[in-house]
């Protein structure tokens, strides 16, 4: 409660620069949304907001520019969109049945040489692919492999996935 009161007191006056460290930790969805709205309003009114957060969705919602820090080193910086574009796109494939999950995972894994993420509870296979790939191309490949699927989609990565990709190798620096 003390932290919440401190946060509310911070928003009473619009300072030229505002430092916020994990402002929504422990807040419910409604309070979190209200804090995000207030931060957006302050930024729109000219306040420079420096926000530290481990919640990548919060950074995605609020940041015009962000720096990803791993082990005390800046490993990437840029807008959320620029960082997502640097990573590429993902294909999500929902297997027709739980028994088809392994065969479903083998197909996109064979295209990329990478190990796909598998969510057995949702029968979901997800893997990073070439941004030039299209859904019809992917469906044709799955079909020619004899794999039945419920759904296929291409999506941009989340900032969580960007963070995990960029921090997978602690000695790798990504120029954005």
Whether residue 118 is contained in a domain is answered as yes
Q: What is the pLDDT of residue 148?
A: 87
pLDDT in tens, 125-165: 998 888 888 889 889 989 998 988 999 999 999 999 999 98
Output the domain CATH number for residue 137: 3.30.70.100
* Residue 173 pLDDT exceeds 90: no
Domain count, the chain: 2
155 and 94 fall within a common domain:
yes
Whether residue 122 is contained in a domain is answered as yes
Whether residue 19 is contained in a domain is answered as yes
50 and 18 fall within a common domain:
yes
What's the pTM? 0.73
φ, ψ at 13 (rounded to 5°) = -115, 140
Cross-strand pairs, 76:
68
Domain that holds residue 154: 87-162
Question: What is the helix (H) or strand (E) element at residue 95, kind and residue range?
Answer: strand 89-95
């Amino acid at each position: 409660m003390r932290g919440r009161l401190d946060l509310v007191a911070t928003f009473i006056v619009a300072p030229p620069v505002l430092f916020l460290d994990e402002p929504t930790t422990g807040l419910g969805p409604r309070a979190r949304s209200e804090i995000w709205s207030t931060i957006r309003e302050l930024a729109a009114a000219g306040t420079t907001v420096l926000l530290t957060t481990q919640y990548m969705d919060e950074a995605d919602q609020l940041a015009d520019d962000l720096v990803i820090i791993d082990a005390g080193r800046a490993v990437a910086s840029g807008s959320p969109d620029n960082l997502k574009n640097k990573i590429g796109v993902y294909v999500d494939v929902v297997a027709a049945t739980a028994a088809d999950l392994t065969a479903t995972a083998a197909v996109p894994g064979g295209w990329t040489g990478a190990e796909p993420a598998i969510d057995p509870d949702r029968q979901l296979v997800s893997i990073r692919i070439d941004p030039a790939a299209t859904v019809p191309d992917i469906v044709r490949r799955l079909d020619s492999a004899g794999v039945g699927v419920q759904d296929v989609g291409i999506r941009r990565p989340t900032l969580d996935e960007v963070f995990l990709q960029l921090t997978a190798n602690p000695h790798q620096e990504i120029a954005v």
